[in-house]
Structure 1
Amino acid sequence: MQTKPFEFLQRAYDLDLTHSQWQSEVVDGLSALFPAAEARFGFVYEFENGAISLPHAHHSPDGVPSSLVGDVIQELGSNHKAETARLFDTIQCSTLSKRLEELEANHVAQLFRENGIVDCAAICAGNASGMGFFFGAFLDAPTTLQASFRRRWLAVASHLAAIRRLHVTLSGSDPLENAEMVFDPEQSKILDLRGSAQTPTTRERLRRAALNLDQLKLATVPDDERLSRWQALVAGQWSLVDVFDSDGRRFVIALANSPEGQKFAGLSQKQAQIVWYLLQGHSQTFIGYELGLSQSTVAYHLQRARQVFHALDDSELIARIGTLLHGESGSAHLQDLEILVAVDRPDSIPDDLPEALRETLTMILSGESPKQIAMDRGVSIKTAQNQIADLYRRFDVNSRHELVARLKSQ
């Protein structure tokens, strides 16, 4: 039976499932993609400092032995920490035979050969938060996945990474109680707004996204188009999920689910998120899908990041970050970037500022205009202007130049 991505994800977003139930549901659904595979398996994982741990036993409808999964993970974690990060600290859909050769993970390749495994198709849903999901299918011949297949299931993997974060952050609590927006699809209106979702701009953005998702469930458009229109996040901050109350009424709720990323001087949180995905080798199109941003918004934030690091293009941005971190060109992971301090920026931002003002101040110091700050933070221009004025009053200054000078003098 063919696995349809949109329908598969609707089942995967069931937050009533336990961690192990969700793992089994996802593995069984993805297994249908590779009916001719010799064996299929999957597991949720936690990843830190190059080491992988499995909070639950892996699931395999074909009985892949735990010893083999454990041996591979132990080998990767013990001897290939940097390479392991490139496998599990990102989102990807690929086959592993070529990847293992590129990463020089020869002992893992040898383990595969000893067990008669020629190749392994892999769908990895990882992110900077250090948690993810991995699915593998053992193949009896070297395989190249078609580009259309990879695009489709790469998009699915971005959703799986978001769902995995939700399961961990909610930890069994009621999703409705944690929702920042509650939308009633029957009445096509928002019933409740909380937290950062209360600004007029964000309210309208979430309302449109909820309407779009609800319409896709009833649409007769092709499944790939439905998937492309259902982005993993809204504005890089919220996941939309169906929930039911005790009376069986369905609601679409927005849950805060921003990917974790280190903050560092000169870049806003959203810019840091985008840079992290860029460092993982993802295109601007995929970054936009993953974070629920337009491609023009992604391009704008990358332009700001290039200005901070004095880079002419994205390749030079990656190279400059690698040079600053390691003394040579190369990729770098975002968790390392916290040691970087942008040129001509104050050494620190006062800790006693409210979070909204801290974010606004960071963007001011990056040279963003009130309009750009509003777009970046998902607030109205008037709100951004009021927060800038509040900062000027707090520091008793009248301009950005005076504000930077005041911070440097403290």
Structure 2
Amino acid sequence: MASADLLSIVEASYRVDLGDAAWLEGLAEAVLPHLDDGFGVAAFEFYRLGDGLPEVVQRCHLGIPDKLAALYPTVFQTMDPEIRQRPFRMGPCVTGSQMMGMRRGFLDEPHMKQYAQKFGMYDSLWITAAEPSGRGCGFHAGRSRLTRASPTQVQQWGRIAAHLSTAVRLRHALKGHPSGRADAEAVFDPNGKLHDAAGEARSEQARDLLRHAVLMLEKSRGPLRKKDPEKSLAIRKALVGGRWSLVDEIEQDGRRYVVARQNEPTAPGPALLSKREKEIVGYAQLGHHDKLIAYELGIAASTVRVLLGRAKEKLGVRSRKELLEACRGKAPGKEE
């Protein structure tokens, strides 16, 4: 990994005030130092309905040689549809050779030989920031040799991807709505002082939860981000209590506030399951493990395990695999 600040990627993702193209380009610029291995980075925003193939909403290329960049759309469009689904079932960070389930054999894969190897690209790293609502973004970066995503990369990019997909969902929710405090459920100053609360944020429990999250957000932005980048990223959860995203608001006089906006994911699933159970199963179907799901929702990992257990009990299955298969089949019960 590059030594540049990983939190700059998270911060770029929450620039919800930018237009679509400027937002994706800014995100690609933040990601480039961390992923570039001489082949640049392809960034894309997508929408994927259910188990369908992803539709690319917009794309941006940085540092990719022109001849290789010209091939990118063809490469993805000619991939086997089943293979194109794999990044959505293998977690947020995986290499092309891992995705294909082979190592040396990947070098003989016809698609790679035809398009990538002529440029010296023998593998690739895929970052897929997906969530059950279907919206998300991702990055593809070539590699000059066969490689595997390390446990550190998987953890780091899993957390970063959690923020990326959350930010995409928030940006689309805010389109057509005024910026600033409008529709916010809570407003804090950077010291954790509450200035306003509405809706579900009015309860004492919610205010305490949000106040703690604001203080952790500010702590992650301070000296900790250089002293201990891992911890800095770890304490900045993608959601608060499975409901709120925290974003900055800068007033005309320069004062900064932290605004809590409702930004819950939605997920399809059997009618027997609760809303939260569907969300958790939806993330699990994307290949996300329990700790990552907890980070994505801002809840305890033990809560994720309990809710998965309840979902299995309701659907009469015994394993995680059986649960995911039952939910993909939308059975028993109809989808809500």
Q: TM-score, normalised by structure 2?
A: 0.86
Which is richer in helix? 1
Task: Quote the residue 2:42 is aligned against.
Answer: 41
- Residue identity over aligned pairs, in percent, reads 27
Deviation at 1:118, TM superposition (A): 0.7
- Distance in 2 (CA, whole Å) between partners of 1:196 and 1:149 is 36
Give the counterpart letter for 1:93 in structure 2: C
1:296 to 274, 297, 302: 302
Conserved 8 A contact 2:14-2:247 = yes
Q: Are positions 1:184 and 2:189 aligned together?
A: yes
Task: Quote the residue 1:120 is aligned against.
Answer: 124
- Distance in 2 (CA, whole Å) between partners of 1:260 and 1:63 is 39
1:176 alignment partner, SS class: coil
Corresponding pairs, count: 325
Residues 156-180 of structure 1, C-alpha deviations (whole Å, 9 max, x = no match): 1111111111111112631421311
CA pair 202-263 structure 1, distance change in 2 beyond 3 A:
farther
CA pair 263-241 structure 1, distance change in 2 beyond 3 A:
same
CA pair 211-60 structure 1, distance change in 2 beyond 3 A:
same
Q: Are positions 1:75 and 2:78 aligned together?
A: yes
Deviation at 1:154, TM superposition (A): 1.4
Conserved 8 A contact 2:28-2:60 = no
Deviation at 1:281, TM superposition (A): 2.7
Matches within 5 A, 1:191-230: 191-220=195-224, 221-230=227-236
Give the counterpart letter for 1:68 in structure 2: L
- Distance in 2 (CA, whole Å) between partners of 1:89 and 1:46 is 15
- Distance in 1 (CA, whole Å) between partners of 2:217 and 2:266 is 25
CA pair 131-89 structure 1, distance change in 2 beyond 3 A:
farther
- Distance in 1 (CA, whole Å) between partners of 2:265 and 2:110 is 32
Gaps in structure 2 of 5+ consecutive residues: none
- Distance in 2 (CA, whole Å) between partners of 1:296 and 1:88 is 24
2:216 alignment partner, SS class: helix
Conserved 8 A contact 2:90-2:287 = no
Deviation at 1:101, TM superposition (A): 4.8
Task: Quote the residue 1:86 is aligned against.
Answer: 86
Deviation at 1:320, TM superposition (A): 4.9
- Distance in 2 (CA, whole Å) between partners of 1:246 and 1:98 is 49
2:55 to 53, 56, 61: 53
Matches within 5 A, 1:235-274: 235-274=241-280
2:332 to 312, 334, 340: 340
Q: Are positions 1:22 and 2:20 aligned together?
A: no
1:146 to 147, 150, 173: 150
Q: Are positions 1:165 and 2:157 aligned together?
A: no
Conserved 8 A contact 1:91-1:158 = no
1:319 to 314, 318, 322: 322
Which deviates the most, 88-97 or 270-279?
88-97
1:156 to 151, 154, 160: 160
Conserved 8 A contact 2:43-2:61 = yes
CA pair 293-140 structure 1, distance change in 2 beyond 3 A:
same
Give the counterpart letter for 2:53 in structure 1: A
CA pair 190-230 structure 1, distance change in 2 beyond 3 A:
same
Q: TM-score, normalised by structure 1?
A: 0.72
1:206 alignment partner, SS class: helix
- Distance in 2 (CA, whole Å) between partners of 1:31 and 1:240 is 25
CA pair 198-72 structure 1, distance change in 2 beyond 3 A:
farther
Residues 41-73 of structure 1, C-alpha deviations (whole Å, 9 max, x = no match): 211122235333333242323345553221123
CA pair 254-178 structure 1, distance change in 2 beyond 3 A:
same
- Distance in 2 (CA, whole Å) between partners of 1:255 and 1:242 is 11
Deviation at 1:264, TM superposition (A): 3.0
RMSD of the TM alignment (CA)?
2.7
Deviation at 1:266, TM superposition (A): 2.3
2:182 alignment partner, SS class: helix
- Distance in 2 (CA, whole Å) between partners of 1:123 and 1:89 is 12
Gaps in structure 1 of 5+ consecutive residues: 325-331, 342-346, 350-410
Higher relative contact order (CA 8 A, sep 6+): 2
Give the counterpart letter for 1:276 in structure 2: G
- Distance in 2 (CA, whole Å) between partners of 1:107 and 1:175 is 51
Residues 319-356 of structure 1, C-alpha deviations (whole Å, 9 max, x = no match): 2552x5xxxxxxx64xx53x532xxxxx999xxxxxxx
Larger radius of gyration: 1
